[in-house]
Homo-oligomer: A and B are copies of this chain.
Amino acid sequence: MNPLTTLVEARFDPHYHNKYATLMAAGNGALGVRATHDEAYATQTRGMYLAGLYHRAGEGETTELVNLPDLVGMEIELNGEIFSLLSGELLRYHRELCFASGELTRVVDWRSAQGLRFTITSSRFVSAQRLGAFCSRIAITPHDGSATIRVATGIDATQTNSGRQHLAERELRVFDNRYLQGRYRTLDNHSDVTLCCACQVSPQAQVSFSAKNRRLLQHTQQTIAAGESFTLEKCAWVSATLDGPDDNAAAQSLIRLRECAVAGYDALLAESLQTRRAWWQGARVEVESDREQDQQALDFALYHLHAMTPRHDERSSIAAKGLTGEGYKGHVFWDTEVFLLPFHLHTAPGVARQLLRYRWLNLAGAHRKAARCGWQGALFPWESARSGDEETPEFAAINIRTGLRQKVASAEAEHHLVADIAWAVAAYGQATGDGAFMAQEGRELLEETARFWLSRTQTVNGRLELHDVIGPDEYTEHINNNAYTSYLAHYNVALALDARRRSGGPDDGFITQCEDFLARLFLPMPRQDRVIAQDDTFFSKPTIDLTRYRAQAGSQSVLLDYSRAEVNEMQILKQADVVMLLYMLPWRFDSATVAANLDYYEPRTIHDSSLSKAIHGIVAARCGRNDEAYRFWRAGCDIDLGDAPHSSDDGIHAAAAGAIWLGAVQGFAGIRIEKGELHVTPSLPQHWTRLTFPFCWRGCQLNIAMTHDTLTLITDRAVTLFIDAAAVEIDGRTVFHLTDHGWRKEAICNPTR
């Protein structure tokens, strides 16, 4: 494995404060910490989150990921001057996140208003090994004579979610003159939250403690000679009881902290690095590109895929912004199954299993929602948190001009996520062959989601139709027979029928119902030009020139000129919809149909959703349009890594990170699972000369490497896959060459095997 890349912030610019706080956030799937500066800035939002720790601040509010008391902040005074990068003179600024270790380092040379120079180096990380551990370190060196350094840091519970406070302060303590502990409880009395920290400083330093206004602080003061360094090393432990209060949790937390404090920053970092290294071994995508940022984008994506995924807890799933910010309130969407699960499925299938078990464990909530709406089976919530109930607010934020509140349409009618979950279950079953899961959780998920669709139809002239739905394109609401939804629902029911038949259980009518559904469900067929109608009325709507809005993709600027109702009545797509269908069920559409629909819909799509361009890129790649695919893929990378200063303020686009991996693996490497078969059709973009990645398939560990004309597969046991649509059994190392007649297996080139 080549060395991993890093992410560098080379310039201190308050406009980018929240972007970099997001991009450089630390996380281990359980704990996420925004990369805010040690010293506070009024324009920067601090944030620390525990996966699964949600709370609703009160009536009329929405359940949200709790922004925890802050551990990052350090009030720094240098010879009496409050340190801020806004003041004085900034002589050097360098901040760098190491994707390999997860360590964030900042080096600053600063001249105070008094004219004294200091070097301030700080670093921090969240342990990948000990899930509650967060460590930081700061070193301050005066250069122009001795200086008095004062640092105050500890646990600051003035933190809120934009003013919403979720935690009551229960007790603040300092144990053994060293260990600070803050105990909090969510206002609904459901969860206990404990934060502990210890700051190691020189024995020469003066130390005192204070507790006031929800701040428990250690105040450290020391006079340092020129060229010498003040150092402070802070170890912290963060934990919460997610399933009810527990008075023992605080003591446990303190024990964990003591262990960390004894180990110290360097040992904890080394231990964490080892854990991370093992993870990267099984996941990293390496690319040789003439553009440096391609490898960086892949490393960035995988770093965050690691940080956002609660591998430790099957009762939690992946939030739309991971653990990096408060966007979408930390809720779980279909993004998880469609954009994120494939990565885990093919690098750590156990994680994919766990993400599906999250849904399975929440079937009760899905049943409740279906029943409340008058349907049967499992209607999973559009936005899910820990309870499994629908968390989407019933009404959108008030229209500040009219005072009206609109019902939130997605929770009412964006039902395709039910089939998306079934799609993911099937993908899991095909990729792992995990019979035990498929016989229990898998079958139940498939059947219960299918039951929903069976109850969801309307009969029109003898055929079954799905009315009043919303497809992935959220600019077209409350339509009938949305192609995406109907095809996916059909697939869902077919999967459930197949599972039931396999199980050999008696037919309580379910099999008959499924057969009837599959026979009679209306699926919009391609018209003569092969274009499939997005819904019943789509073709009848007018088009407008979208150039301006497409140029500002992601900003929803079209809604400044048109009302939602007006947009609804035009051929304007927020994001991939029929194209998304082509991506999801590729075996259902021939290549001419795929191309025709891509050509028809893409120009009508603004790509205002971060989920859009990446999918277009993969479908373009499958059409052999490499340049176009690469452009889409790059645009997907730029959703977070681009120059826009505020697009990531409230968290990374988790699905977009997943899509960076999808684009490389499903787009350019051409990996496709069709009816349980693994297809590989390499098609690297011009900029790339080599692509390598590990890939799990049916219990075997593949390593796949490709150039423009070779494909090297290494497997730890025999496996069959399809190259150029031809089945090939491989074992050990196998090389294919691209010839005029397609990919051809090389004569045994490694006689030692």
Contacts and interface: CB of A to CB of B under 8 A. Distances in A.
Contacts of A559: none
Contacts of A43: 40, 82
A403 interface: yes
A158 B43 CA distance: 13
User: Contact residue range for chain A?
Assistant: 35 or more
A716 to B, nearest CB: 50
Chain A at the B interface: mostly helix, strand, loop or mixed? loop
A60 B167 CA distance: 12
A746 interface: no
Contact of A42 (B42, B61, B162, B177): B42
Contacts of A539: none
Of listed A14, A43, A163, A170, residue having the most chain B CB within 10 A: A163
A511 interface: no
A173 interface: yes
A114 interface: no
Contact of A171 (B157, B173, B398): B398
**Number of copies of this chain that the complex holds:** 2
A398 B213 CA distance: 13
A160 interface: yes
A86 B41 CA distance: 11
Contacts of A172: 397-398, 400
A60 B84 CA distance: 36
A164 interface: yes
A60 B214 contact: no
B60 A168 contact: yes
Interface string A379-418: 0000000000000000001101101000000000000000
A743 interface: no
B165 A159 contact: no
A160 B168 contact: no
A26 to B, nearest CB: 21
A58 B173 CA distance: 20
A455 interface: no
Nearest to A39: B42
Interface string A67-82: 0000000000000101
A160 B166 CA distance: 12
Nearest to A70: B163
Contact of A84 (B86, B158, B209): B86
Nearest to A84: B86
A87 interface: yes
Contacts of A40: 42-43
Contacts of A225: none
18 contacts: A14-B84, A15-B80, A40-B42, A43-B82, A58-B187, A60-B170, A84-B86, A158-B160, A158-B162, A160-B160, A160-B163, A162-B213, A162-B215, A163-B214, A173-B401, A174-B400, A177-B401, A211-B400
Interface of A: 14-15, 39-43, 57-61, 80, 82, 84, 86-87, 157-160, 162-165, 168-174, 177, 187, 209, 211, 213-216, 397-398, 400-401, 403
Given A40-B42, A157-B163, A211-B400, 5 more contacts: A58-B168, A61-B168, A163-B165, A163-B214, A173-B400
The 8 closest A-B pairs by CB, nearest first: A40-B42, A158-B163, A162-B213, A86-B86, A165-B165, A86-B87, A163-B214, A174-B400
